[in-house]
Structure 1
Amino acid sequence: MARDLLYYFLILIFGIPMHECVAVLRDGRCVIEEPCFDLSVMANSARLVSKDVIAADGEKILLRHSSFDKIRKKKNLHGCVLQKILDLFQEVLDKTNGTYVHKNEEINHHTELIHIMDQLRNCVYKKKDRCKKLYKMSEITTTSSPMILEEKMNPNQLAVLQLQKLKSASERVSDVHIQEKVMDELKTLHLYMQGKGFRKNTND
């Protein structure tokens, strides 16, 4: 207790800025919280592994960033959608692992990315009951109902749309064209991880 008081006294006297400590004070010591996962590591590996492919139908598996932004602001929606995104990308990485030509002989970035997917799962907020309801909703909702422009959709509708696109891709995951799409979109995957459904720090 005395050490804690001394710490705050020093802050007041010498003007030590509180923001230098990431809001964690343990035993009078400022403990810096580590990020749950450094997404720049993933981005660098993905850049070396991904392919530049223009889909024949012009259709992407992941929603446009402007649409996905609505999902990432909702913790439960973002977390549930991220789990399915990781499922698809890891499955494709597993299937294409043997066909990858290494650009760096010392490091197999393809295999590294497969391991990274597992680490990312640990940083995704999980609420099984919430996710089950959302997944069920995506299965019973049909896109043949009165069409709503993507720009007009609310976060829940966009989450359902994204899940349907992921499911469609998963059902055709052995198709080379689907695999190429996933490998192409791999280089921007780290941008989709950012949001309320992804834990920033290990203690979140």
Structure 2
Amino acid sequence: MAGALQYVCLLLTFAVPIHECVAVRQDPKCVTGEPCFDLGTVETMARRVSKDLIYADGENILLKHNSFDKIRKKKELHSCVLEKIIDLFENVLITTKGKSSMPHEGDLDHHLELIHIMHRLRNCVFKVKKGCDKLYDNAYENSDITRPSKKSEATEAAIEQLKKLKYASDRLDDVKIQEKVMDELKSLHLYMPGKGFRKKLNN
């Protein structure tokens, strides 16, 4: 009887962790497949269609990482911001399509490929159930751009990032804005990973 009881306890010991992993199979620790998208591909292709620019302090469109990391830690905020980041890059890619002086590699048009990649990345972003409208409304009430202070909370950083994105989006015809967006596209892969980025496609 004691032997049978020990056997049952042993089974339960192994069964519980297996069940936990199955129950949360979308948790990154339990996902065994490939990531949703190889973000290094974006950087490689972006380098072929952009110039290297030097920015004055505060001119960048994407927040510096110490500020953006506050957003990244909040899954829903990160997702809402990523949607607008992808919108901007996709719109600039479409606007500048055919204007790039960079040569193609054989039949591969890196510019066109990047437009398709933006669509794929959008499918990788975590979908916020309640939507992002409230955050967007808060961000666009005042269009003045001010840099977030060191004490900024995640929401304040997200609003600041959205203001910068809107400022650039409203000036898509400006060649300098286009070049700046294309240059920052090279670092997009550093902003995507995190809780707001799915490890696998569900569809």
Q: TM-score band, normalised by the shorter chain? A: 0.7 to 0.9
Partner residue of 2:68?
A: 68
Q: TM-score, normalised by structure 1?
A: 0.78
Instruction: For residue 44 of structure 1, report the CA deviation from its aligned partner.
Output: 1.5
Aligned amino acid, residue 62 of structure 2: L
TM-superposition CA deviations, 1:154-181 (whole Å, max 9, x none): 1000000000010011000110010011
Instruction: For residue 140 of structure 1, report the CA deviation from its aligned partner.
Output: 1.9
TM-superposition CA deviations, 1:95-133 (whole Å, max 9, x none): 111111225233111110000000000001122634111
Q: TM-score, normalised by structure 2?
A: 0.78
Instruction: For residue 90 of structure 1, report the CA deviation from its aligned partner.
Output: 0.5
- CA 1:36–1:182: 2 relative to 1, 3 Å: same
SS at match of 2:97: helix
Partner residue of 2:117?
A: 116
Identical-residue share of aligned pairs (%): 56
Kindly report which structure 2 residues correspond to 1:98-109, keeping only aligned pairs within 5 A, or say none: 98-100=98-100, 101-109=102-110
In 2, distance between residues paired with 1:174 and 1:57?
23
Partner residue of 2:94?
A: 94
Are 1:162 and 2:161 matched, yes or no? yes
| Contact preservation (8 Å) 2:143, 2:163 | no
In 1, distance between residues paired with 2:48 and 2:147?
37
Instruction: For residue 60 of structure 1, report the CA deviation from its aligned partner.
Output: 0.5
In 1, distance between residues paired with 2:87 and 2:189?
15
Partner residue of 2:195?
A: 196
In 1, distance between residues paired with 2:159 and 2:153?
10
| Contact preservation (8 Å) 1:33, 1:203 | no
| Contact preservation (8 Å) 2:67, 2:148 | no
Structure 2 unmatched ranges of 5 or more: 1-10, 24-30
Kindly report which structure 2 residues correspond to 1:29-68, keeping only aligned pairs within 5 A, or say none: 32-55=32-55, 59-68=59-68
Partner residue of 1:83?
A: 83
Partner residue of 2:181?
A: 182
| Contact preservation (8 Å) 1:34, 1:201 | yes
- CA 1:150–1:45: 2 relative to 1, 3 Å: same
SS at match of 1:99: coil
| Contact preservation (8 Å) 1:138, 1:160 | yes
| Contact preservation (8 Å) 1:34, 1:202 | no
Instruction: For residue 58 of structure 1, report the CA deviation from its aligned partner.
Output: 5.5
Instruction: For residue 75 of structure 1, report the CA deviation from its aligned partner.
Output: 0.3
Instruction: For residue 57 of structure 1, report the CA deviation from its aligned partner.
Output: 7.1
In 2, distance between residues paired with 1:184 and 1:160?
22
Instruction: For residue 55 of structure 1, report the CA deviation from its aligned partner.
Output: 3.9
- RMSD over aligned CA atoms reads 3.0
Instruction: For residue 191 of structure 1, report the CA deviation from its aligned partner.
Output: 0.6
| Contact preservation (8 Å) 2:77, 2:155 | yes
**How many corresponding residue pairs?**
182
